[in-house]
Amino acid sequence: MKSILPVLTVIVAVLLIWVVAVVPMNVHLTADQAQRDGAVVMPDTPIARKEVSGFALALKNPHLIPLTYFGKRPNLPSPHQVAAEMFNTIFGKKITSKRSLVYHGWVTLAPTLLGFVIGTFLGVLLAVGIVFSRVMDKSVMPWAIVSQTIPILALAPMIIVVLGAAGIHGVLPKSFIAAYLSFFPVVVGMVKGLRSPDQMQLDLLRTYSTNNNQGFWKLRLPSSTPYLFASLKIGISASLIGTIVAELPTGAKAGFGARMLVGDQYGQPILSWAALFAAALTAAALVGIISLIERGTLRKMGMKPA
Amino acid sequence: MTQNPTIEAKGLHLTFETNDGPVHALQDVNLEINKGDFVSFIGPSGCGKTTFLRCIAGLEAPTSGEISVNGMSPDEARRARAYGYVFQAAGLYPWRTIGGNIRLPLEIMGFSKSEMSERLDRVLDLVDLSGFDKKFPWQLSGGMQQRASIARALAFDADILLMDEPFGALDEIVRDHLNEQLLQLWARTQKTIGFVTHSIPEAVYLSTKIVVMSPRPGRISDVIESTLPKERPLEIRDSPEFIAIAQRVRDGLRAGHAHV
C-alpha cells in the first residue's frame, strides 16, 4: 500500500500534461468549427491560422479553450472524453454487443491467455533442455534470441496468412503469435533460475549421491521459482501485445487491436484511445494477478520475490 | 592398532591446471585416520586442507596416489553415502523448513516416512534444536542454521563426518559454544570426524589428531597426536598441556611458512 502515493503522483502528473496538451493539439480544429458556427476567431482564415502555433492561437482566442475539450473528432481526445467512451462501452452496452469493449476485451483476452499458457509451457520446456543439454544450450539459445529480433509486426500477418491457408482460423493463430512473444522471457528467466543454485549446493547433492532427476525437483526447480514469476509477469504482457499486434494488420473484426484500427481508419480517435486504455488496464490486471499468485506462492515457500 | 584405518591416503598428489600454469594443491600427502578419530586440518589458505577434505569426499579427484575411505575408493564411498559433509555456509534451502532441510538427504536416499520423522527428532535433539523443525532458515540465527546443517549431515547416520570450516563465519562466543557441543556430539555418536579450520585453539580443543599443512605446494608439515583427555571442558584451554600443543601447531605452521 506504500506504493499508492507515488503511483497516484505519476498518474496526476500524466493527467496534467494530457489536459494541458489537449488545448494546442485541438485548437486549430476547434477554431475552424467555431468560425463555421459564427464565432469571431483571430486570425480569420484557416490558412493564416496554420502559421500560428497552437499555444499562440489559444492565447489569442481564449474563448476557444473550453471548446477544445469537446471536439467530436479531436486530434487528442481529452481525458473525460476517453473516460466517458470507456464507461459507455464497458458498462453501457450488453457484453454480447459488437460495440461493447467487454466483448472486444474477451476476444483479445482469450488468445492472450491461451498463448501465454503455450508460451510458458514451451519456455519452461526449452529452459530445462538448455540447462541439461549442452547441445541444446549451444543450438537453441541463439535461435531463441534471433526469434525476438524479427519485428513481430512483419511476422504476424505472415503467420496468420500461412495458418489461414492451412485452415486454422479463430483463436489459435493469434495465440500462436502471443506465445511467440511470451516464451522468450520465460526461457531466459528459467535458464537463469535453474542455474541459480551455487556450487556448494550442487556439491551438497553430490555428497548424497543424488541423480539429475532428484536434483531437478529438489533443488533446481524450487530455486527457479522467483525467476519464473518475474518472467511470467513480462510474458503475460508480451502475450497481450502479441495478440493485439496479431489483430492489427489482418483486418480482424473484433478485439482491442481491431478497435484501435477502426478508430484510426474512421477518424474516431476517442474510440482508439478507449481501446488503448482498456488494453493497458487489462495488462495491468493480468500482471497484478500474477503478482498476487507470486506473493502467495513465495510466502508459502518461505522466500521473498526476486 | 592393527585394524585398517577408516581413511588412508598414500602419496596423494593433486595438480589443478589453470591459465597461469599448474597449481600444486596437494603434494605427497600421506595420512591415516582411524575409526573414531577427530582429525583437524589446519593451515593458511592455499595449503590444500579443503582440497584434501574434498578428495576424501570424492568431490575432487587426485592426480596420482591412492586414497581409501572405509576400504573403498572415495567415489564408491560417496555413492555408498559413507559420510556426511558440512560446508562453510549452512546452505539450507530457504523454501524448506528446518525439518524439511534435514529430511532432504533422507528423501533422496528413500527412507520411509516413519523412519524420517524418527531420525529427524533424534538429530534435532543431538544439535539441540528440538522444537525448531517448523521454522524457516531465515528465522534462525547463523549459529542455529549451522547446527541445522550439521543435523542434516548426521541424519542418514554415516559414520564419517567431514566438516569444512563449519564455524568459520561465526563469532567467537557462538563458536566456543558450538565447539563444546560438537565434542559432546562426537562422544555420543562415536563418529570419525575430519575438520578443516584455520583457528589454532579450535583445532587443539577439538582434535585427537592435528594435521598441520603448509602451502605452495600444499603438503603436510606435521601430524600431532593430542595428549589431551577425551573429557574437555572449555577451561582446558588454559592448561599447560593445551598451550604446549598449541605451541607445537604454531611452530609447525611457521616451519611451513619458512619454505616459501
Tell me which chain B residue has its CA closest to the CA of residue A299: B95
- B93/A207 CB distance under 8 A: no
Residue A98 has what pLDDT? 87
Q: pLDDT > 70: what percent of chain B?
A: 97
- The residue type of B134 is K
- The residue type of B101 is N
Mean pLDDT over B231-242 rounds to 91
- DSSP letters spanning B73-92: -HHHHHHTT-EEEE-SS---
Decide: A239 and A175 in contact? Cβ < 8 Å. Answer: no
A174 vs A242: CA distance, rounded Å:
8
A164 vs B27: CA distance, rounded Å:
71
Choose the mutation target among A209, A219, A224 for the interface with B, i.e. most B CBs under 10 Å.
A209
**Where do the structural domains in chain B lie, given as residue ranges?**
7-82+159-258, 92-157
- B85/A204 CB distance under 8 A: yes
Residue B257 has what pLDDT? 67
Q: Is the pLDDT of residue B260 over 50?
A: no
Q: Is the pLDDT of residue A20 over 80?
A: yes
b vs e for B90-129, b when ≥16 Cβ sit within 10 Å of the residue's Cβ? bbbbbbbbbbbbbbbbbbbeebeeeebeebbeebbebbeb
Q: What is the DSSP letter of B175?
A: H
Please tell me if residue A205 touches chain B, with a CB cutoff of 8 Å.
Answer: yes
Please tell me if residue B188 touches chain A, with a CB cutoff of 8 Å.
Answer: no
Cβ within 8 Å of A, B 117-136: 136
Mean pLDDT, chain A, whole residue set: 91
Q: Name which of B258, B122, B143, B109 is nearest B189 in CA terms.
A: B122
Q: Is the pLDDT of residue A306 over 70?
A: no
- B96/A219 CB distance under 8 A: no
Mean pLDDT over B43-50 rounds to 90
B241's enclosing H/E stretch is helix B240-258
Strand arrangement of the beta sheet that strand B21-33 belongs to: B21-33, B7-18, B64-69
Question: What class has domain B7-82+159-258?
Answer: alpha beta
Instruction: Tell me the whole-structure pTM to 2 decimals.
Output: 0.84
CATH topology of domain A101-300: MetI-like fold (1.10.3720)
Residues 6+ apart with CB under 8 A from A256: A104, A105, A108, A244, A247, A275, A276, A278, A279, A282
Residue B169 has what pLDDT? 83
Q: What is the DSSP letter of B5?
A: P
Tell me which chain B residue has its CA closest to the CA of residue A217: B108
Residues 6+ apart with CB under 8 A from B35: B3, B5, B6, B159, B192
- A68 CA to chain B: closest CA distance, Å? 58
How many residues belong to chain B? 260
Q: Which residues of B touch A197 (CB under 8 A)?
A: none
Q: pLDDT for B79-99, tens place per residue?
A: 999 999 999 999 999 999 999
Mean pLDDT over B146-168 rounds to 93
Decide: B196 and B53 in contact? Cβ < 8 Å. Answer: yes
Mean pLDDT, chain B, whole residue set: 92
Q: What is the DSSP letter of B234?
A: G
Q: Quick one: pLDDT band at residue A304, thresholds 50, 70, 90?
A: low
Q: Which residues of B touch A203 (CB under 8 A)?
A: 59, 85, 87
Tell me the sheet residues that pair with B250: none
Decide: B93 and B100 in contact? Cβ < 8 Å. Answer: yes
* C-alpha distances in Å from residue A99, one per residue of A64, A85, A236, A273, B35: 32, 11, 26, 15, 84
Q: pLDDT for B111-125, tens place per residue?
A: 999 999 999 999 999
Residue B1 has what pLDDT? 46
Q: Which residues of A touch B89 (CB under 8 A)?
A: 200
Q: Is the pLDDT of residue A124 over 90?
A: yes
Q: pLDDT for A248-299, tens place per residue?
A: 876 678 899 999 998 888 888 999 999 999 999 999 999 999 999 999 999 8
Q: Quick one: pLDDT band at residue A14, thresholds 50, 70, 90?
A: very high
Q: What is the DSSP letter of B72?
A: B
b vs e for B141-175, b when ≥16 Cβ sit within 10 Å of the residue's Cβ? eebbbbbbbbbbbbbbebebbbbbbbbeebeeebb
Tell me which chain A residue has its CA closest to the CA of residue B91: A201
- B64-69 and B7-18: which strand pairing? antiparallel
Please tell me if residue B169 touches chain A, with a CB cutoff of 8 Å.
Answer: no
More confidently predicted of A306 and A267: A267
Cβ within 8 Å of B, A 212-231: 214, 218-219, 222, 225
Q: Is the pLDDT of residue A125 over 70?
A: yes
Q: pLDDT for A203-260, tens place per residue?
A: 999 999 999 999 999 999 999 999 999 999 999 999 999 999 998 876 678 899 999 9
b vs e for A260-282, b when ≥16 Cβ sit within 10 Å of the residue's Cβ? bbbbeeeebbbbbbbbbbbbeeb
Q: pLDDT for B10-35, tens place per residue?
A: 999 999 988 888 888 999 999 999 99
**Where do the structural domains in chain A lie, given as residue ranges?**
4-76, 101-300
Residues 6+ apart with CB under 8 A from A257: A108, A243, A244, A245, A246, A247, A248
Q: Quick one: pLDDT band at residue A96, thresholds 50, 70, 90?
A: confident
Residue A95 has what pLDDT? 85
Residue B46 has what pLDDT? 84
Residue A81 has what pLDDT? 94
Phi-psi region of B196 (alpha: psi -120 to 50; beta: other; left: phi over 0): beta
Q: Quick one: pLDDT band at residue B254, thresholds 50, 70, 90?
A: confident
In chain B, % helix, strand, coil (3-state, to 5) comes to 40, 25, 35
